[in-house]
Structure 1
Amino acid sequence: MLAFVLVTDLLAIALTVSCTVLIPVNGTDWLRFAALVVGVVAHLEAARGIERTREVSVEGSPYTNLNSLWMFAGLLVLPFPLVVALVVINYLHLCTRIWSGVIVYRKVFTVATMVLAGGAALAVLIACGLTGTPRVPTGFWSLLAVIAAAACWWLVNYALVVGAILLSNPELAARKALGEPADQIVVLAGLGLGLVVACLLISFPWVVPVVMLTIVALHREFLLPQFQRAARTDAKTGLASPTFWAQLVSAELTRARLTNSSVGLLMLDIDHFAEVNNTYGHLAGDAALEAVVRAVRHEVRHDDLVARWGGDELAVMMPGAHAEELLKAAERIRLRLAQTEVSAADATSGRVVEIKALTVSVGAAVYPESGTDVDGLVVAADGALLAAKAAGRNQVRLAMPGGPGIPISN
């Protein structure tokens, strides 16, 4: 990882020095540079509170923001040495005004990735014939060249950042290192806004302040999806949160009433889960919980919604499922887990142990037979779950109108 970071930094330095020596800068370039500096500083100050929150919340994933729009606009209207200066000013402002507890080598690496991404994009523009500034498109083919340069900028920067994340933490899941696809779409949208700003700066510079208001408004909404994901998702398992799950169940019940269809619910509880924690430690318990989550996800349909209902309890909503389909899914989960072995570290000895034959008790309920609203269905499924546990665990019970449940398997 250290070699990767150092090579990236050195390549960025070499590119900066060579371009500074070879590429001249004139007075008009400095005026455009000053306009972009004002834009990026004003943008960052307006979004300062958002960025402070976002940097912490995306730790371990690519940190994305809309600031790349100013860098890409600079690439289209400025000589490359001033593009590098704009990148440096951008991140110096972030470090001094927004970020706290800055890890210097990370930020230097981030600047280096932006410089190399800009250099790769510049190479694409030059290869397509856009050699001098400004490089704003004037026709269809020049627009394609700018789009190709934007894609190159994104790809190089993204690949370098993800590579550094994976090398610094090999145990990190690749899905986490790649980040959210929606965040990368925002980056691409930022590059598109950069093209708009560059065109306006060349042709209608007095319109840029109006566009600034739009950019700041978009940036303020940028944090909302992250808060929504945090509210909807259980941090440990990645499953839906109980509140979000209940909201979707309520919406699905409304649809079922209108279409005269059914909705199935499963409540699952890991048998003797406390013994796993007490015997091997909580990390082993987490590994067992992850195994149960994988089994449940594997055996339910793509459109079914799984939630972490409690510490070791999961809830599943299966739209359109009748009792027979619901019970088949529960039985598949139960049988899969009975054949599952989980490797985990024993907290006491440090040795790797095998946790065998995980079992679950399952309660099932179906709308409208078992209940007609969310609370009624949950109570019915939970009652069937308790009946399964009381009857000896490792079995499935279906909630019935006249009682807590009937035995399905053991």
Structure 2
Amino acid sequence: MLRRSSDRKAKLRDAPRPVFATVVLIDFLALALVLCWLWAGPPAGANLGRSVLIVLGGLASAELTWRLERQRRQLSDTPHVNMSSVAILAVTLVSGPVAGSVAAAILYLHLWWRASRWTSGIDPYRAVFNTSAMIVSACASYGVVHPLAPGGVASAPSETSAVVLLAAIATFWLVNSLAVGAAIAAAEKLRSITGLVGGWSANALEIVTLFLGAITAVVIQLRPWLTLFLLPLIYVLHRSDSVKHLEIAASTDRKTGLLNMETWRCLAEAGLKKARRHHVPVAVVMLDLDFFKRINDTHGHLFGDDVLRAVAHVLSSEVRRTDLVGRFGGEEFVVFLADVDLVRATEIAERIRSAVAALEISPSTDGTSSAVPVRITAGVACDDGYSDDDVDLSQLLLAADNRLFFAKGQGRDRINAGYTRQAR
């Protein structure tokens, strides 16, 4: 879950101090919890056979989808979900936290061998950290469940069994999200909440997998053969999620997370056609970072990438979810606004300009150096939707680009807006 490194041989000791401290803390916490549960008592031997079957099912599912998982890890740079938590939670609920920890180690070792080790920048300490985070989550989940159902979830009274399972799911999800989020926050201070803990879709998928894990734990203790019906469901869920991530990766700019230009153009053309049918005004905002080359030359391209990501975050935050935000190329961005007149589009562009000017981005990770000022210039082109001649997207882009050029000529850090032609 940590930022990828360009050095495949990077060691934990070479990581920034906050990352080193967070990773070591989670690793030692996982080891301490396993030792504590071992001291409290060995795993329940009667259920170990069932746990072995669960782990074998998890390995089979991972083996069927490892190619997609490898591609997803190569392309994705945000927290994402794999189906390992299904087996890990199920084994934990069936045989205890020690068995769950062993299951986590086996499944993540297989995942690393099949997918992670072939992915550039996935350092071994990251794989160990992810395993440790799962172990801590499993131990914490069992620690909450055991007082509620000492004999196991299958033996819990029917009126409390749902509460027991919900407590296990909630604890596992919360602890894992906090551990992963803390590690990413230590590595990348510019991450948004979505970048730290994943978006709603990813978290919903994680919760669904934990529900499947809880169901598996109950079913395998009551009717073991029924778990065979869960395997196809887990496989299809994993495969569909992997395909969705690959589609997202193919449509977004990896550096900023915004739409790439090809995808933006296709969606914007569809939006423009819809707007023309309903006589709805549209606007295109073209934005350019002022003196970005100077930032790169003075502070380096890595800091320049941080600036691009910060500006991209501002753009996404200051527009509606239905608006289209893309990276036009280099330090240029473009926004398609539907059902927005010239006045409103200009207000949005001005709000973006002010938010970018308020950014405080320091080249040093410890914040010892002063923030580098970031400014942006924008051109706004609007079409009222009532003209006799259709305005295509290329004309809107050209008009917005011309407005941007005029704004730069007027001194930069400003907005120049107008219609593509005189409104009728």
Q: 2:101 maps to what in 1?
A: 84
8 Å contact from structure 1 (residues 77, 133) kept in 2: yes
Q: 1:110 maps to what in 2?
A: 130
TM-score, normalised relative to structure 2: 0.77
Aligned mate of 1:49, from 40, 49, 67: 67
Aligned mate of 2:326, from 295, 307, 311: 307
Counterpart amino acid of residue 83 in structure 1? G
Deviations 1:64-114 (A, max 9, x none): 311110111112222443223222222232233443167444433333332
In 1, distance between residues paired with 2:411 and 2:31?
68
Q: 2:158 maps to what in 1?
A: 139
In 2, distance between residues paired with 1:341 and 1:214?
46
8 Å contact from structure 1 (residues 384, 399) kept in 2: no
8 Å contact from structure 2 (residues 314, 356) kept in 1: no
In 1, distance between residues paired with 2:49 and 2:134?
22
8 Å contact from structure 1 (residues 299, 333) kept in 2: yes
In 1, distance between residues paired with 2:273 and 2:297?
43
In 2, distance between residues paired with 1:289 and 1:150?
37
Counterpart amino acid of residue 108 in structure 1? V
In 1, distance between residues paired with 2:417 and 2:333?
15
Gaps of 5+ in 1: 406-410
Map 1:11-410 → 2, pairs under 5 A: 11-23=29-41, 28-58=46-76, 61-62=78-79, 64-100=81-117, 103-128=123-148, 130-133=149-152, 135=154, 139-167=158-186, 169=187, 171=189, 173-175=191-193, 176-270=195-289, 274=293, 282=301, 300=319, 303-330=322-349, 336=354, 355=373, 358=375, 360=377, 362-368=379-385, 369=387, 371-385=390-404, 396-401=416-421
In 2, distance between residues paired with 1:74 and 1:115?
12
Change (3 A) 1:316 1:201: same
Q: How many residues align?
A: 395
In 2, distance between residues paired with 1:32 and 1:134?
14
Counterpart amino acid of residue 122 in structure 1? Y
Q: 1:408 maps to what in 2?
A: none
Shift of 1:251: 3.1
In 1, distance between residues paired with 2:99 and 2:311?
54
Shift of 1:273: 5.0
Shift of 1:275: 5.8
Root-mean-square deviation (Å): 3.8
Corresponding residue SS for 2:283: strand
Q: 2:11 maps to what in 1?
A: none
Q: Which moved more, 1:255-264 or 1:117-126?
A: 255-264
8 Å contact from structure 1 (residues 269, 313) kept in 2: yes
Deviations 1:337-363 (A, max 9, x none): 8976876669xxxx868558x462514
Counterpart amino acid of residue 208 in structure 2? A
8 Å contact from structure 2 (residues 51, 95) kept in 1: yes
Shift of 1:222: 1.5
In 2, distance between residues paired with 1:41 and 1:25?
21
Shift of 1:134: 5.0
Shift of 1:219: 0.6
TM-score, normalised relative to structure 1: 0.79
Shift of 1:309: 1.5
In 2, distance between residues paired with 1:386 and 1:31?
71
Change (3 A) 1:105 1:311: closer
Change (3 A) 1:26 1:184: closer
Q: 1:9 maps to what in 2?
A: 27
Percent of aligned pairs sharing the same letter:
30
Corresponding residue SS for 2:160: helix
Shift of 1:376: 3.8
Change (3 A) 1:43 1:251: same
Shift of 1:139: 2.3
Corresponding residue SS for 2:154: coil
In 1, distance between residues paired with 2:330 and 2:66?
36
User: Which of the two has higher C-alpha Rg?
Assistant: 1
Gaps of 5+ in 2: 1-18
Deviations 1:261-300 (A, max 9, x none): 2212222345665566567765675576567657756765
Corresponding residue SS for 1:308: strand
Corresponding residue SS for 2:238: helix
Change (3 A) 1:91 1:372: same
Corresponding residue SS for 2:152: coil
8 Å contact from structure 1 (residues 363, 386) kept in 2: no
Change (3 A) 1:381 1:125: same
8 Å contact from structure 1 (residues 136, 198) kept in 2: no
